[in-house]
Amino acid sequence: MSTSATAAPVREGAAPGAVRNWKNPILLSVLALLALLGFALGAPANDVTFRLSDPGDALVLPDLVLSAPVIGWFTALGMLALAVFAVVRTRRGEPVPRWLLAAFAVLFLLGFLTWVVGSARTPNVALYGLLAGSVTLAVPLIFGSLSGVLCERSGVVNIAIEGQLLFGAFAAAVAASLSGSAIVGLIAAAVAGVMVSLVLAVFSIRYLVNQVIVGVVLNVLVSGLTGFLFSAVLSEDSETWNSPPQLPVLSIPGLSEIPILGAILFEQTIVGYLMYVAVAAVYVALYHSRWGLRTRAVGEHPKAADTLGVNVNRLRFTNVLLAGVVAGVGGSFFTLVLVSGFGRDMTAGQGYIALAALIFGRWNPIGAFFAALLFGFATNLTNVLSLLGTPVPDQFLRMLPYVVTIFAVAGLVGRSRAPGASGIPYTKG
């Protein structure tokens, strides 16, 4: 899964080693011109209202009212200026700085929100609700991307994230329904994720089957198996098999009362808090422990790690199973938090978006965390804009999360490097 940008010719007179990489400047220029065209053809005349806090909060912040024409043209011209600056730097053989990409992303998001919300029948949006929904929808993506980090840092490509999430959701619904306990459902989801990982590990590590093919087959297998059981068992007696209790929302006193962010970050179910723990634990363990050093060595140079006494395949096997636990818990979110019951293929491709978040985050737990938040924001934005009555067709709004995924990976994956041994089976000798 390793990809790299093709080096462009060196400019005459440029410093030694300087290359022209026109990918980012071209992408920024196209987006800036599209923004200018959008406001030129249909600049909204309304003011846009962003509600910053819930009226029931202890501290109510005033609404933020912005003029759609002023903000729209400001953001469009600002993006154009940044794109021109990126072109100039690239012509000099200099890299495009990260702050420029971040500033461009902020301007693009502000301009897009201003244009879409300003053109809606109801030109106001609850910003706190938009952010809260984004964090909620990002939870399974974060668990899925962490599962991918654990596998790929060990040298195993995990295409089966979708199957792990789906089987975890199914097991959580059935176990919680039969036992009447959401905690039992959470444990069953982790076991289900391990079962999918076990098959992946056995075939890809023990029998050296192509890891991508195994992952795709597992996704199809889990989809077919859960779909059949849903039709044959769960739908026939949903009261017994598909009525799981919901995990309660737990508020942290003091922290949950922080304006805007308090209710978003510190009023979560146990799955939400486990998400924070998982991100921190994987990051610390991966970069500040002996296990993490060995894992990264196995993912980069397995032969060298083997020479130093590391059992490469055993460590890979263990990490793939651990990744199944993480993804399975993420799958429980769908049936124990999001909705009360299992539905056919209810993960709806979230595993593949989690894989994109893993790549966008550069195989780093923190990077994958923020990438998943971005995709969660795009998904929730689609839902919010549909309710506001925007002139944008609903079909295009539903494309938004996947368009963001494509642009994110296409814009940065060229400068990312997967672990050197990712996807390559290891045989001793």
pLDDT digits (tens, 9 = 90+) for 67-76: 777 888 888 8
H or E stretch covering 64: strand 64-67
The stretches of 127-255 forming alpha helices (DSSP H) are: 127-152, 161-179, 182-201, 211-229, 238-241
- How far apart, in whole angstroms, are the C-alpha atoms of residue 280 and residue 366? 8
Mean pLDDT of 302-329: 94
pLDDT at 45: 65
- Joined tokens for residue 314: 């055993």
- Maximal C-alpha separation, the chain: 75
Quick check: 13 pLDDT over 50? no
CB proximity list for 18: less than 8 A, separation 6 or greater: 10, 11, 92, 93, 94
Amino acid of residue 277: V
The two tokens of residue 62 are 């005033």
Strands 267-268 and 124-126, by their bridges, are unpaired
Residue 129 CB contacts under 8 Å (≥ 6 apart), including other chains: 54, 384
* Mean predicted confidence (pLDDT) in 302-319: 93
CA separation for the pair 344, 332 (Å, rounded)? 14
- Residue 42 — very low, low, confident or very high, per pLDDT cuts 50/70/90? low
Token output for 185? 């459902």
The amino acid present at 410, given as its one-letter code, is A
pLDDT at position 6 is 39
Contact present, 43 and 90 (Cβ < 8 Å): no
Percentage of the chain exceeding pLDDT 70: 87
Q: Is 45 left (phi over 0), alpha (psi -120 to 50) or beta?
A: alpha
For position 211, what pLDDT does the model report?
93
For the whole model, what pTM was predicted? 0.84
Q: Span 246-272, mean pLDDT?
A: 84
Please give the C-alpha separations between residue 147 and each of 167, 200, 309, 358, in angstroms, as whole numbers: 14, 13, 26, 9
Can you read off the two tokens belonging to residue 240?
Answer: 């017994």
Task: Report d(CA 271, CA 140) in Å as an integer.
Answer: 9
Which of the four pLDDT bands, split at 50, 70 and 90, describes residue 408? low
Calculate the alpha carbon distances from 33 to 331, 362, 400 in Å: 40, 29, 19
Structure-model confidence comparison of residues 46 and 161, the more confident one: 161
Mean pLDDT for 114-122 is 76
* Rounded distance between C-alpha atoms, residue 162 and residue 327, angstroms: 9
What is the pLDDT, as a whole number, of residue 351? 92
Task: Please tell me which residue, 77 or 177, carries the higher pLDDT value.
Answer: 177
CB-side neighbour CA atoms (13 Å) of 286? 21
C-alpha–C-alpha distance, residues 90 and 97, integer Å = 11
* Strand 47-51 versus strand 124-126 pairing type: parallel
Phi-psi label, residue 66: left if phi above 0, alpha if psi -120 to 50, beta otherwise: beta
Residue 314 CB: number of other CB atoms within 10 A?
11
Q: What confidence category does residue 331 fall into, taking pLDDT thresholds of 50, 70 and 90?
A: very high
Which residue pairs from 373-377 have beta carbons closer than 8 angstroms and sit at least 24 positions apart in sequence?
373/134, 373/135, 373/138, 373/142, 374/404, 374/408, 375/138, 375/141, 375/401, 375/404, 375/405, 375/408, 376/134, 376/135, 376/136, 376/137, 376/138, 376/139, 376/141, 377/130, 377/131, 377/134, 377/138
